A = this chain, B = another copy of it.
């Protein structure tokens, strides 16, 4: 492994650590030392890879976006759009313990970034959510349902809402209850298969 590869590996370790720690502790309560420790990189060295803390936040957001893209690409392999959406809901529900402790990574990040007067990064958090909305709308459209954008809004909004309540009340079972309802809702839409 040459120098370039090692360097980019440290960068990737920092990015992964940032995504994890910022989700758990939030942006404002996380120090560069926290991220450096988690990535096993000396604090002062962080500045060689990221000029500011905001650049680390940006990298964390890109990491979440990448995870989400990976998930939707996997779901795209399912032949039926309805099954893709139901699998998405099931993926959410399977993350209920994490949601109870820290909420949705993108959602909680978006909330925090929107509190900043300097609106440099909140648009980027919004973009991640926007891309999920677009993918979801595409599935509804493929199903031939009317107003696919509204249906996508309803589904993603339900996800963010149940994540927030699960987190605020520290009750993962909320994800089970709402998830089950969403699955039945998806089944009820449009023409029945059987």
B161:A162 contact, CB within 8 angstroms: yes
- Does A148 touch B at the CB level, under 8 Å? no
- Does A83 touch B at the CB level, under 8 Å? no
Q: Which B-chain residue is minimally distant from A30 (CB atoms)?
A: B115
Give how many A residues have a beta carbon under 8 Å from the other chain's beta carbons. 41
Q: Could you give 6 example pairs across A and B, Cβ below 8 Å?
A: A28-B29, A102-B115, A103-B114, A111-B112, A112-B115, A130-B169
Q: Which B-chain residue is minimally distant from A165 (CB atoms)?
A: B157
- Does A186 touch B at the CB level, under 8 Å? no
CB distance from A180 to the nearest CB of B (A): 9
CA–CA, A112 and B108, complex, Å? 8
Q: Which B-chain residue is minimally distant from A25 (CB atoms)?
A: B115
B110:A115 contact, CB within 8 angstroms: no
Q: Which residues of B contact A178 (CB under 8 A)?
A: 153-154, 157
Contact of A115 among B29, B114, B115, B160 (CB under 8 A): B29
